[in-house]
Amino acid sequence: MKDKQIKIEKTIFYMLLILVMVYRGAILFKYSFYYVDDDQALMWYGTVSFAHFDFHEPCFFGQSYGSMIESLLAVPFYFLHIPLNVALPVSTLIFTTLPFLYLGIKSLENNRMVAAYIILFVYAAMSYDWDVLTSIPRAFVGGFIFGVIGGVLINEEGKWYKYLIASYCIYLGCIITNTVVAIAGMSYLAMVLYNKIDKDFIKKRFPGLIAGNVLGFITGYFIKMFYVNNPDYNLHPAYNAAVSLKVLRENIADFNEIAGWFTPVTIGAVWIIVMLVIVWICIYRGAFKSLIMTAFAFFGFIAILSLDKMEDYMPGTLLYGQLRMLLFVPYMIALVVFLCSCYDESVWNRKKTYVGCIVMVLCFLVVMVIKSNIIIKEIISEDSVLYNSEVINLQQSDDLIENAREAGRIAVENNCDVVIQVDSNKAFGYICSALNYKKFIQYNAEYDRRTWIYHRIMKPGNYRCLLVKYNINDGLSTEVREISGESVVQWLYDDMGFIRND
């Protein structure tokens, strides 16, 4: 009877997972596949570049932080001839989902059914804003899977090399996505809090932990030195993690709105109830170490709100809003739930577990109905924050793809060896370059993150260039121009007044 109940609970878990993925799939089909901005278009180009084994710089193109790992994962899809506007969002969704799936399945394996349901619920119960931001390829989520896997491994028994792998994964996650540092902090705190720190513990774990962190430091050092030695690649230097009490006060004043991003109904006050329930459960069960973990997670979140970087956003927009700096929160919550459940020696009886699972299922159904209605209304509304931004140039990908192919056809037909985007439509330029890779050199005259392209057109010579403009209202316009005896860069300055990324 017990085994049958466990099997039923596991089956329901996977059914709920399918339900959540159907909802996430709807976001892809109704939004992510159909809209693209400049950074997403650059990631399309990154996938094609990596597929041709062209690796130009270690971080997100044009800056000394972030990564193009979502582009790298999309390479197999590209080889399968899956369109880039589909491959990249799918790649992002994989990175978004894997940490929760990993923690959930590990909880099932440990027969921690309620923990598994809570972890999946955390994934499902975020606001639609969080769901959308983690469904578009913007280099927001690539590091979380490494941080979560590392956080689990350092809290398991094993040989010294297991802790080497674990600590390196955590460090690598921090390099890829800076906010993984919050996950790292909770992982190491659990390891110290729940284990007896004696000679045996130090002897078993510290050599691997030290080696992994040294290896991570070396990796970060070589990445840093690349940009030190090639400063013109670093168009957007890494930000300093400066703390500001003014920023903290402003964010505390907006705490209800900020906390609302991590609820399905965007009402931050819900978290007051949740925190009170967590505190009561911890005290009632005598789980004081879990209470300490919860407190550190909360105050760690507050500490993030004090960083100057939190001011780098545009109010009233989603794609360039504050939430993009706080995407780590659900991953931190899920990891804390997993670690506390693993170290908690008390086990719920089958009746309590059964009731707990039923409650979670009901919560799932309510949340999914609410969120489905909200996201449908937002996608339909032209005034939605999904589309409004003074910073992010969001465009329909189908239009860009069709006209970028046409621009490529015109360039090849006219034997052009350089195609220059001479308006501000950077996304069109990147997509044109991706869809016509190796056919010609493509460069965005107004702003281009690809320094290696800039270097190629600095060389004096004879060039046949296609000047391109495109916008949805005026359509595609092209003009063939000849350049003799000078570089494209110099010609752009002399003839059109363009200075690189001016």
Do 285 and 178 lie in one domain? The reply is yes
Do 49 and 163 lie in one domain? The reply is yes
Task: Rounding to the nearest 10 degrees, give the CA dihedral for residues 153, 158, 164, 167.
Answer: 20
Check residue 346 and give its pLDDT: 56
Q: Is residue 342 part of a domain?
A: yes
pTM of structure: 0.93
Over residues 58-82, the mean pLDDT reads 97
Q: Is residue 307 part of a domain?
A: yes
**Which residue's structure tokens are 């062209």?**
54
Q: Give the separation between CA 271 and CA 251, rounded to whole angstroms.
A: 16
Q: What percentage of the chain has pLDDT greater than the value 90?
A: 61
Check residue 375 and give its pLDDT: 86
Check residue 352 and give its pLDDT: 65
Do 315 and 426 lie in one domain? The reply is no
Residues 78-83: contacts with CB under 8 Å, at least 24 apart: 78/47, 78/48, 78/51, 79/51, 83/401
Do 77 and 217 lie in one domain? The reply is yes
Check residue 351 and give its pLDDT: 66
Q: What is the pLDDT of residues 455-489, one digit of tens each?
A: 999 999 999 999 999 998 899 999 999 999 899 99
Q: Give the separation between CA 198 and CA 377, rounded to whole angstroms.
A: 57
Do 461 and 315 lie in one domain? The reply is no
Check residue 368 and give its pLDDT: 84
Do 260 and 363 lie in one domain? The reply is yes
Q: What percentage of the chain has pLDDT greater than the value 70?
A: 96
Do 366 and 451 lie in one domain? The reply is no
Do 343 and 412 lie in one domain? The reply is no
Q: Is residue 390 part of a domain?
A: no
Q: Is residue 233 part of a domain?
A: yes
Phi and psi torsions of 358, nearest 5°: -65, -45
Looking at the 3D structure of the chain, how many domains does it have? 2
In the listed set 312, 346, 380, which residue is the last one of a domain according to the structure? 380
In the listed set 380, 409, 444, which residue is the last one of a domain according to the structure? 380
pLDDT at position 211 over 80? yes
pLDDT at position 449 over 90? yes
Mean pLDDT computed over every residue of the chain: 90
Q: Is residue 502 part of a domain?
A: no
* 17 touches 86 (CB < 8 A): no
Q: Residue 377: how many CB atoms within 10 A of its CB?
A: 11
pLDDT at position 6 over 60? yes
Do 376 and 413 lie in one domain? The reply is no
**Which residue's structure tokens are 């693993």?**
342
Flag the least confident range among 169-178, 321-330, 463-472: 321-330
Q: Give the chain's count of helices (H) and strands (E).
A: 21, 6
Check residue 424 and give its pLDDT: 92
Do 295 and 340 lie in one domain? The reply is yes
Check residue 484 and give its pLDDT: 92
Residue span of the structural domain in which 211 resides? 2-380
Q: Is residue 208 part of a domain?
A: yes
Over residues 234-262, the mean pLDDT reads 84
In the listed set 331, 357, 380, which residue is the last one of a domain according to the structure? 380
Do 414 and 374 lie in one domain? The reply is no
Helix (H) or strand (E) holding 72: helix 69-73
Do 260 and 193 lie in one domain? The reply is yes
Higher-pLDDT residue of 239, 91: 91
Check residue 214 and give its pLDDT: 97
Over residues 72-96, the mean pLDDT reads 98
pLDDT at position 345 over 70? no
Over residues 168-194, the mean pLDDT reads 95
Q: Is residue 406 part of a domain?
A: yes
DSSP 156: S
Q: What is the pLDDT of residues 276-321, one digit of tens each?
A: 888 888 888 778 888 899 999 998 898 898 888 888 887 778 888 8
Over residues 162-181, the mean pLDDT reads 96
Check residue 335 and give its pLDDT: 96
Which of 341-355, 362-376, 440-454: highest mean pLDDT? 440-454
Check residue 285 and give its pLDDT: 78
Q: Give the separation between CA 36 and CA 383, rounded to whole angstroms.
A: 17
Q: Residue 222: how many CB atoms within 10 A of its CB?
A: 10
> Can you give the length of the chain in residues?
502
**Which residue's structure tokens are 């209605």?**
373
Over residues 261-277, the mean pLDDT reads 79
Q: What is the pLDDT of residues 367-407, one digit of tens each?
A: 888 888 888 888 888 777 787 766 778 899 999 999 999 99
Check residue 272 and give its pLDDT: 79
Q: Is residue 236 part of a domain?
A: yes
- pLDDT band (50, 70, 90) for residue 137: very high
